[in-house]
Structure 1
Amino acid sequence: MDRAPGEVQASLPDDLARWRDQVEIRIQPATGDKGTELRAKPGGEVSHHELRLALRRAKAVLEAGEVVRPDTAPTHPGPLGKALQLVTNRAGGGGRL
């Protein structure tokens, strides 16, 4: 993301900041002077899946100011549609089966 590490540290979104005591969060300059790298490693009772979603939302908020979601979940009448919805739901994109 195109922000200085100190700025990211000071404005860490709630999705990630709430687990600050339970996860290892690394904020460092990205290689090639391309902004900041944000990493998180789970610990305690935080699952990889929960942390991955929180990290994705935090990066979206830091980069765009909000978490952008599709207006509607992808739909398809057959089994492929159900599989697509399942993957979208698991990735935090919403929609229902």
Structure 2
Amino acid sequence: MNTAGKAFLAAGVVTVAAVARRRRRTPAVQQADRWLVVTVNRSPDDVQSSLPDDLARWRDQIEISIRPATGDKGTELRAKPAGEVSHDDVRLALRKAKAVLEAGEVIQPDTAPTHPGPMGKVLQRVTSRAGGGGRL
């Protein structure tokens, strides 16, 4: 194995170790108690009167808080699971609610122009899971 191959292998090992260490730091139980927050570019009255269906259907299973965002920059829409609904479902509903409130619809990204080779399959798998994690 040449030097470049060893460097790529070492970088991969370091990345896997960092991801594993980070996942251990945030247990799922602790995550379920956290508020999920998005800032919507609309007034609090507009958000309160037109809460999207994605959040409204779980109103009895989640805690919802609507308040002005810091510095008059829109509205802070907060949600936290309180019933049987999962943390990931609430997160996805918040993302969709933000899109509906700001753009009127949930805009889907274009499909990636990839071929069915190994890297194309990796890219398809990553983009199909992208809606579930990461930043709000």
TM-score bracket, shorter-length normalisation: 0.7 to 0.9
Give the alignment's TM-score, normalised by structure 2. Answer: 0.60
- Aligned to 2:79, the other structure's residue is in SS state strand
SS at match of 1:63: helix
Partner residue of 1:63 out of 86, 102, 126: 102
| Worse-matched range after superposition: 78-87 or 20-29 | 78-87
Matches within 5 A, 1:10-89: 10-73=49-112, 75=114, 77-89=116-128
Q: Say which structure is richer in helix.
A: 2
Unpaired segments ≥5 residues, structure 2: 1-39
Identity of aligned residues (%): 78
TM-score (norm: length of structure 1): 0.81
Structure 2: distance between partners of 1:47 and 1:80: 32
| Number of equivalences | 93
Point out where structure 1 has 5 or more consecutive residues left out of the alignment: none
Question: In the alignment, is the contact (CA less than 8 A) between 1:30 and 1:36 conserved in 2?
Answer: yes
CA distance in 2, matches of 1:9, 1:58: 12
Alignment root-mean-square deviation, CA: 2.1
Distance 1:50 1:82, change over 3 A: farther
What corresponds to 2:42 in structure 1? 3
Runs of at least 4 residues off by over 6 Å:
none
